[in-house]
Amino acid sequence: MTKLTLGTHPHMLGFEQLERLLERSAKSGNEGYPPYNIEQTSDLSYRITLAVAGFAETDLSITVEDRQLVIRGRQADDGEGRVFLHRGIAARQFQRTFVLADGVEVGEAVMENGLLHVDLTKAQPETIVQTIKINKG
């Protein structure tokens, strides 16, 4: 029995790119840091919230690369010349990626109390009915 994938299913035409996005998302290497929430704020909007305590706005970057939202954090290690008896808070970098569907746009990003909020909006899809004329052969 042949395994059907999204891109090879006979009734799913043109979904090869979606399959590649799913594979890339699975391989993105997202670890558990930093923790995050995704909430639906309305029928057409979402908010991603990352816990980024210790990061300043200048330590963070948010980009959209090939339909992926990429959030990166990089802190400078200011531990030189300091003597730590215990160091449980490390200067740690991260990269979190989220695959965006067509029509999803990244809006505002806000830092608040150690949380980074990134708002997303989804365009209302238009219902299009197209009639195809049948020609005589």
Q: Would you list the domain boundaries of the chain?
A: 30-122
Q: How far apart are CA 87 and CA 41, in angstroms?
A: 38
Closest by CA position to 60, among listed 98, 117, 120: 117
Decide if pLDDT at 27 tops 70.
no
* Pair 104, 21: CB distance under 8 Å: no
> Residues 3-23: pLDDT tens digits?
666 656 666 667 677 677 667
Beta carbons within 10 angstroms of residue 116's beta carbon: 22
Residues 132-136 have a mean pLDDT of 92
| 34-54 tens-digit pLDDT | 999 999 999 999 999 999 998
CATH of 30-122, one of 3.40.640.10, 1.10.3720.10, 3.40.50.1820, 2.60.40.790: 2.60.40.790
pLDDT for the residue numbered 14: 73
| pLDDT score, position 67 | 86
